[in-house]
Every structure is written in C-alpha cells, then in structure tokens.
Amino acid sequence: MSRLCYRSVFVSDVHLGLPNCQAAYLLDFLRSIECEHLYLVGDIIDFENLLKRPWWHAEHGEVLAEIFAMTARGIRVTYIPGNHDALLRPFAGQCFSGVEIRLDAVHVAADGRRYRVSHGDEHDSASAAPAWLLRVGDVLQGFICGANRHCNALLRRLGMRYVPLSILIKRRIGTAWRFIRAFESRVADAARDAGYDGHICGHIHYGQIREADGVLYVNDGDWVEHCTALVEHHDGALELLHWTERPRSLGVRRAEAIGSMPLPAAA
C-alpha cells in the first residue's frame, strides 16, 4: 500500500484508555502515512482517566504498536507529555524504544520558520476561571464527548460518515468560544514574545491554523472529538487534516506566506 509522505506530523489529545478515543481512525491514519518526524503533542495516553477508571481496548494497544513500528522504520518520534499523561514528564530527556520524551521542542520547518511545540496546558494558568467552573466544564466536556461517540456509532451502523458533533456545539456556546479565542491569543502572544514564528499545540480539542499579528497559532486538534492531525509538507507548508471515512483538508498555511485559515464548520 502506498503511503502519503510528509516531512513532519503532529498528533495530540488521543486519550488512549478513554472509551471516547477514536483509536480506529487514528490507527488508519498512522498506517496511511510516512514521515521523517512524528510529534506526539501530549495527552496520548490518558493516565489521569486510567487511574480513576481502568479501561483499555485492543485498538488502543494497536496504536502504540504502530508508533513503535514507526520508530523501527527510522522515523523520529518525539513525545511531549500533556496534563493527562503528565506522569511521563519526569522522564524528559530519556528515550524508550526509540521514542524521545521532551517537555517541549523547537521545530524548524522546511521553509526555515521556527515553531515552539508544546501541549499547551501551561497557558491555562492565565485563566481566571474558578475551580468549580473548570470542574463543571470537565463534566460537560465528558458529556459532549460521550454523545459524540454514541451518535457516530449510530451513523456508522447506518452507513453514514462521521460528524464532529462536539465542534458544532462548541461553536454555538458563547462561553466555550470565548475560552477558545482567549487561549489562542495567550499562546500566540507567548510565541511572539519569545521570538518564534509560531506555536504548535493541542490541549483544547479545537484544530486551527490562524495568523495572529505576524505569528502563526497552530492547534493539531484531537482524536476524541474531531479526528484531526497537522502535517508539514516537504516545502514547509502546514495542513490540518480531518481523518475519518472521508479524509479531507481543513486548512493550509502555505510555505511562501502566512495565511489565516480557520477550521470550518462541518458540512
């Protein structure tokens, strides 16, 4: 089988060990690509959930096996733990079966632009939201993800394509939309202050490629709700892909110039 070839691939917020994880789509994506460097940008294994409710599916193990198979093929794999797999952060600087553990990274694209790569949860501290509101948000997020999983299971049985139900909900809830925009602004501001051309992250489960006053904010999305990954082409262009029954492009930042390309509403 011929594979799609990219220079770099960025994946985050897989949440292996969570029933809502869309592992089958991710497994298909990983088996369909070839790249020089794979970045795992946090929350790959949901240790936080596993410690509360131990649960694992065979497909989740297959995802890990495929990642190790990629390292065996010579692909460089960098794992940057997030808040749900923070148990791995003390191992930063070490390498396990070819997988490098890093707290963050600097990615130099083929066009010479420098991007900071981190999970993104370090920017939560700027939020003034009280603890009780964050807990309510977590409960609502879990409810939305569960509804998304059950809805799409029904659609699959009916022979219909995947619909990112949660993104439709988030775009229509003012509080959620303001939270997303505020997070994007904090990340972009920090990248600009540090002298980077952009920042690639995950964390908030909302894929995006957006220019903000000369700095590129890039979020590779997730594999719980939206099934998205960021790929870098060999000329340095960045593209956000949605990968389910019908893979499609959600946005491109071309190598020759920064352009704003937000994630569109699902058709």
The pLDDT tens digits of the residues spanning 73-83 come to 999 999 999 99
**Mean pLDDT along residues 17-23:** 94
**What's the rounded Cα separation, in Å, for the pair 149 and 21?**
8
| 12 CB-contact burial (10 Å; exposed 0-12 / middle 13-18 / buried 19+) | buried
Domains and CATH numbers, the chain: 4-253 (3.60.21.10)
The answer to whether 101 and 88 are in contact (CB under 8 A) is yes
Residue 125 reports pLDDT greater than 80: no
The answer to whether 218 and 115 are in contact (CB under 8 A) is yes
**What's the rounded Cα separation, in Å, for the pair 42 and 86?**
8
Residue 3 reports pLDDT greater than 60: yes
**What's the rounded Cα separation, in Å, for the pair 205 and 221?**
5
**What's the rounded Cα separation, in Å, for the pair 225 and 244?**
11
The pLDDT tens digits of the residues spanning 28-76 come to 999 999 999 999 999 999 999 999 999 999 999 999 999 999 999 999 9
Confidence band for 263, pLDDT divided at 50, 70 and 90: very low
The answer to whether 117 and 106 are in contact (CB under 8 A) is yes
| 132 CB-contact burial (10 Å; exposed 0-12 / middle 13-18 / buried 19+) | exposed
For residue 157, give the amino acid letter.
R
**What's the rounded Cα separation, in Å, for the pair 28 and 63?**
9
**What's the rounded Cα separation, in Å, for the pair 147 and 204?**
18
Find all residues with CB under 8 Å of 139, minimum gap 6, and list them.
none
The pLDDT tens digits of the residues spanning 144-180 come to 666 666 676 766 677 767 766 666 666 666 667 788 8
The answer to whether 55 and 23 are in contact (CB under 8 A) is no
Q: What residues does 231 pair with on adjacent strands?
A: 9, 239
**What's the rounded Cα separation, in Å, for the pair 59 and 254?**
34
191-202 burial, b at 16+ Cβ within 10 Å, e below that, comes to bbeeebbbbbbb
Residue 265 reports pLDDT greater than 60: no
Give pTM, 2 decimals.
0.85
